Structure 1
Amino acid sequence: MKYIKRITVLTALASSMFMVSCQKDFLDVVPTDRVSDASILSDSVLFEAYVINRYMGTRLTDKEAEGTLPGFGRGFEYAMWSSLTDESIYNNDDNTWLIQRGQIAPENTGIAGSFWGRSYRSIREINYALANLDKVPVSEGKKRMLKGELQFIRAFRYHDLIRNYGGVVLLGDKVTEISNDLTSQDLFDRSDIKTSLDYAIAQLDEAAALLPESNDNNSWKLGRATKGAALALKSRLTLYAASALYNAGTWQAAAAAAKSVMDLNKYSLYTGGYGNLFTSNDNSEIIFGRLYAIGARHVCLEIANGPNSYNAWGGNVPLQNVVDDYEMMDGTKVTDAKTSYDPQNPYKNRDPRFYATILYNGATYRNSTIETYTPGGKDSKDGPSNWNTSKTGYYLRKFMNDNLPIDNPWDVAGTQTWIYFRYAEILLNFAEAQNEASGPDASVYAAINAVRQRVGVNMPVIPAGLTQAQMRERIRNERRIELAFEEHRFYDVRRWKIAAEKENVPAYGIEIGKNGTAYTYKQKEALSGKSFAEKQYWLPIPRTEIQASNNKLTQNQGY
């Protein structure tokens, strides 16, 4: 127990300084703010608590994880991952604009600099637990489950590393110590993408064989890994592997991985309303999520993202770019020659998911109406708290629970489950992979139409007779709409290798004028300088990590 040894040295020094003859090491006690490794390994309850805490990570950057520690991704944060894409911008910057403008660098990673350090710290902690699991006095059944959880979490950390940096350093089961030779090259050699993916996928196969199909008998039902969670992460990774950026797997394998989740017959699409899906803490669609509780302080989505007239901060504001990609209720696109879209009434008869995702001028919200027009609109620059006015003319609606307070929400709001995996993603994974493997067969239509038609008001099915290329575009747009703001877009446009096209389009918003009862709509640039360079298909490894390796760690190309 290293901290006890250090305290003993201090005790001896103090004794000699004060010539104390007493032999008792009165400072050789366990600090009250920590638990020794011996205690953890001898107590099954403490060890399980250690495992549960591996679902969280350490806070590494400013304004990250307000209160509770960060989990996977940026769910309950100020700036969300969508604000590094063509979905939204973060109204008050918070180190996002430099990434939108293509200025990210190893010395300045903005909000995208914590993946490397946090992931490897977590992997080291998991390796420690796996190395000592056999010492814990626990039943074989429980031991299997805990091992499966640890392998799942480790695979999730590698998944985050791979999708952000490409090939990564694979540590296996190695537990590094300060006393180790940390200049050893094998601690810094990066494997290629295929080897990295194969390792993480193999870990998930092992985890799936060990994990239960459900956690129905404990209070962490959705917050701890299950067989379905492991297979869902495998589905995502195999989809990435087959994609153009990775080119390290097959579409057949990706389709099979998604089908293995479908064949569990455990999950189904939620039919209680698309918007309610994200405020219902437990439903048939959620495969794995992060639970939040009253009293566990964290960023509350309602105050962080709500309109300025509601005393909220207008955080992650949607772009016109994504608004334009929502279909009409009849299935036409706003750019189609025979569209039903009316530019003088642009928010009428849109895909129902639009109304559950984006707050627009005229939208009903909390017993009032959103007013982003000028002059005089209460949610425009003419309204109260105008420093929080949306730069795009829109506010985020998705994830918000109207039953939770905006004013002074701390410790009483923000209780939604943040969803990491849900069944709709699996269906869309399957549709994409199967279309690429075999073309748009009946199973592809069935998967994508199921997602489209559960939204509360029936959307028309995808038209029959599409070519593979036409279906590809349909599926890509369906992912854009169905999974909007859920941390998929950033990775999707990269793995499809269309980021250079999509992310070099200006960040558009809307300017709405009002004259009497008539409105005018004018597109505007909400954030200047939006830019994407080829090197940005991968993030840079932070310069501090390169320096800590004595320059043995290889930086991504272009940085």
Structure 2
Amino acid sequence: MKLKIFTAVALGLAMSFTSCKEDFLEVTPTDRVSDEAIIGDSVLFESFVINRYLGARLQDKEADGAPPGFGRGWEYALWSSLTDESIYRSDDNTWLVQRGQLAPENTGITVSLWGRSYRSIREVNYALTNIDKVPMSQSHKDLLVAELKFIRAFRYHDLIRNYGKVVLVGDKVSQLGEDFTDPALFQRAPLQESIAYAAAQLDEAAAALPAEYSNSWQKGRATKGAALALKSRLMLYAASPLYTQNGTTVTWQQAANAAKDVMDLNLFTIDPKYANMFIDEAGNSDEIIFARYYNLNSRHTALEIANGPNGYDGWGGNAPLQNLVDAYEMSNGMMITDPTSGYNPQNPYADRDPRFYATILYNGAQYRGRAVETFTPGGKDSKDGPSNWNTSQTGYYLKKFMDETNPIQNPWNVAGRQPWIYFRYAEILLNYAEAQNEAVGPDATVYAAINMIRQRQAVNMPPLPAGLSQAEMRQRIRNERQVELAFEEHRFYDVRRWMIAEQTENVPAYGMEITRQGTNFVYNRKVALEGRSFQAKHYWLPIPRAEIQASGNKLEQNPGY
């Protein structure tokens, strides 16, 4: 019996890793060259290594125009549409996750995570096994080994945060045709062992990776900061309730220290502009630690048409939920649930956190020369507008990541060059604040980290009030993560690691119904997607049934499936 996840593949099926300028990382595709050619040519081998930042397209509507990288990234349905951040207009295999209908036989949009991760791990192992045969200097080999260990650790981190325990294959390169009788190929390691392995790989990578690269064409490759940032995230997860209840022994202080290691590099700062870093093709923000870049020859999904309002000829793809809208504070720093906050439910978008305006298009928001109209009757961006099959079910449209200089109509060969940010400094500060608060309580460093984010120039929210208890600070940090990191593939994992998904994901997916009455509007909540549901077994994804069967049923399935 062959184990599907370790099946040998043609080397380098991923296309070249590219970035948003032509002088950024441009490499020779390695999908049509022999093993001997790769190993015998240092340039080809380095191209093979760089290609490992990417993966092969394994499902429909995935990686439109450019190969997928780490995570979902810029594809039609964002990972946010599996959470209380948004829903995807035309499903795209997301609704079954929202409705708690995941099964080993039907894993929806999550289907490719297991297979792509192990495919990438095998490819990294191939490179590590053969690098000593490549004619290049030892110092350059050491650099490439560090990159490969970072990439492998990233894939393991993705497996861990989705499935929990993983199969640790070491440096083994399984070959097509092998008889997989070794039980280690099917044995899922304890969660603590899985975390420790990935963390050790990142320590080794960080020790050899440069703080930055001197050449612009190398932009997008792993650095010391990227490796330490990934370790910070991994340690934060490992110290969280879901992980400690499943056997991890990482402490909150260790997680705080891992974040502090990034902070102590003194290489990154908070970008005063906030919204600009998400659309700057060159990725020049000092907040960005590690990102994926694109250019006209390798573009991602044209975000503006994929997510724009139907009245602008957009497709209304990932529609923000009222659940997220409610999380944004008033500009005075109070939650809208506070009766003294000044919140008016019939003027709900006035005086909110500036990040709300940078993230979500709402009724009355100025966009491309006119006000958005999600009201009925007659609103241009409502069901009464053109292309009503593309109307948002929630009354909101996505603004974050949207570049208004890109066309909505006929965006092909023009749009699709925004960077996808894997790590930025705000996440590290949030990681530190959360871990430090859990370790010692809300000391001055916790306040400093959160307020640095809140008081960036373009946001300028009031500092957190003094005297918060540990529990009160915990809630403020969680809310800060929700609004600061919205749509960046964090919420799905945060509510699970905190073990609050049974509350947040069992709340209906709310939208806003807006009715125009003369010159006034009446706002009423509505359910935008029926049947939203979450069970305890959903804290981890099911391993696809095909993978279990390929192991001769030796691979352990997650509980409840």
TM class, shorter-length: over 0.9
Cα distance change, pair 346–177 in 1 and its aligned pair in 2 (3 A):
same
Aligned match for 1:212, one of 199, 210, 213: 210
Query: Structure 1 residue 121: deviation in Å?
Result: 0.4
Judge conservation of contact 2:274–2:459 (CA < 8 Å) in 1.
no
Partner letter of residue 508 of structure 1? Y
Partner of residue 233, structure 1? 230
Equivalent residue runs for 1:471-490 within 5 Å: 471-490=473-492
- Pick the aligned partner of 2:361 from 351, 359, 362: 359
Paired residues in the alignment total: 530
Is 1:50 aligned to residue 48 of structure 2?
yes
Aligned twin of 2:63: 65
In structure 2, C-alpha distance between the alignment counterparts of 1:224 and 1:495, rounded to whole Å: 28
Find the counterpart in structure 1 of residue 96 from structure 2.
98
Q: Cα distance, 1:32 vs. partner? A: 11
In the alignment, what sits opposite 1:311? 313
Q: How does 1:13-162 map to 2 (within 5 A)?
A: 34-162=32-160
Partners of 1:145 and 1:208 in 2: how far apart? 10
The offset of 1:457, in angstroms, is 4.2
Aligned to 1:504: 506
2:445 is matched with which residue? Answer: 443
Larger deviation, residues 43-52 vs 334-343: 334-343
Equivalent of 2:351, from 346, 349, 352?
349
AA in 2 matched with 1:275? A
Aligned to 1:251: 252
Following the alignment from structure 1 to structure 2, what is the Cα–Cα distance between the partners of residues 237 and 433? 12
Query: Which of the numbers 335, 346, 356 marks the counterpart of 1:333?
Result: 335
Q: Unaligned stretches of 5+ in structure 2?
A: 1-7, 11-28
Letter of the structure 1 residue corresponding to residue 374 of structure 2: T
Report the equivalent of 2:196.
198
1:158 Cα offset (Å): 0.1
Q: Give the aligned partner of residue 389 of structure 1.
A: 391
Q: Tell whether the 8 Å contact from 1:298 to 1:410 is kept in structure 2 after alignment.
A: no
Counterpart residue identity of residue 59, structure 1: R
Aligned equivalent of 1:181: 179
Q: 1:179 & 1:458 partners in 2: Cα distance?
A: 60
AA matched with 1:431: A
1:275 to 2:275 alignment: yes
Q: Within the alignment, does 1:466 sit opposite 2:473 as a pair?
A: no
Q: Please report how far the alpha carbon of residue 455 of structure 1 lies from its aligned counterpart in structure 2 after TM superposition.
A: 4.9
Report deviation, 1:179: 3.6
What is the distance in 1 between the residues matched to 2:493 and 2:444?
27
TM-score by length of 1: 0.93
Superposition CA RMSD, Å = 1.5
Partner SS, residue 232 of structure 2: helix
SS at match of 1:198: helix
Tell me by how many angstroms 1:113 deviates: 1.1
Distance, in Å, in 2 between the alignment partners of 1:252 and 1:464 is 23
The SS at the match of 1:511 is strand
1:302 counterpart SS class: helix
Map Cα deviations across residues 26-71 of structure 1 (whole Å, 9 max, x no partner).
xxxxx99610111111111100100111000111111111121110
8 Å Cα contact 2:331-2:353 kept in structure 1: yes
Tell me which stretches of 4 or more aligned residues in structure 1 moved more than 4 Å.
none
CA distance in 2, matches of 1:370, 1:340: 24
Q: Following TM superposition, by how much is the alpha carbon of 1:482 offset from its aligned partner in structure 2, in angstroms?
A: 0.3
Structure-2 separation of matches of 1:124 and 1:451: 39
Q: Which residue identity lines up with residue 130 of structure 2 in the other structure?
A: N
Distance 2:30 2:186 in 1: 36
Per-residue displacement from partner, 1:489-511 (whole Å, max 9, x unpaired)?
Answer: 00000000000011000000000
* Alignment deviations for residues 499-529 of structure 1 (CA, whole Å, 9 cap, x no partner): 0011000000000000111000010000000
Structure of greater relative contact order (alpha carbons < 8 Å, 6+ residues apart): 2
Match of 1:265 in 2: 266
Q: Is the 8 A contact 1:512 1:520 kept in 2?
A: yes
Q: CA deviation at 1:76?
A: 0.8
CA contact (8 A) 1:81 1:487 kept: yes
Quote how far apart the aligned CAs of 1:298 are: 2.9
In structure 2, do the counterparts of structure 1 residues 42 and 178 end up closer, same or farther at CA, with 3 Å as the change threshold?
same
Does structure 2 conserve the Cα–Cα contact (< 8 Å) formed by 1:353 and 1:455? Answer: no
Contact 1:84 1:100 in 2 (8 A): yes
Q: Distance in 2 between matches of 1:216 and 1:515?
A: 60
Query: Aligned residue for 2:554?
Result: 552
Contact 1:91/1:315 (CA < 8 Å) preserved in 2?
yes
User: Given the two structures, how large is their TM-score scaled by the length of structure 2?
Assistant: 0.93
The share of aligned pairs that are identical, in percent, is 69
Q: Structure 1 residue 474: deviation in Å?
A: 0.4
Q: Letter of the aligned partner of 1:553 in structure 2?
A: L
Q: State the distance in 2 between where 1:121 and 1:297 align.
A: 23
Amino acid at match of 1:263: D
Q: Confirm or deny: 8 A CA contact 1:270 1:277 kept in the other structure.
A: yes
Structure 2 counterpart SS, 1:73: coil
Instruction: Name the CA distance, whole Å, in 1 between partners of 2:451 and 2:527.
Output: 35
Mapped partners of 1:297, 1:267: distance in 2: 27
Structure 1 contact 291–415 (Cα < 8 Å) conserved: yes
Distance (Å, rounded) in 2 between the aligned partners of 1:455 and 1:406? 29
Given residue 107 of structure 1, which amino acid in structure 2 is its aligned partner? E
Alignment partner, residue 26 of structure 2: none
Displacement of 1:416 in angstroms is: 0.7
Measured in 1, the distance between the counterparts of 2:55 and 2:31 equals 18
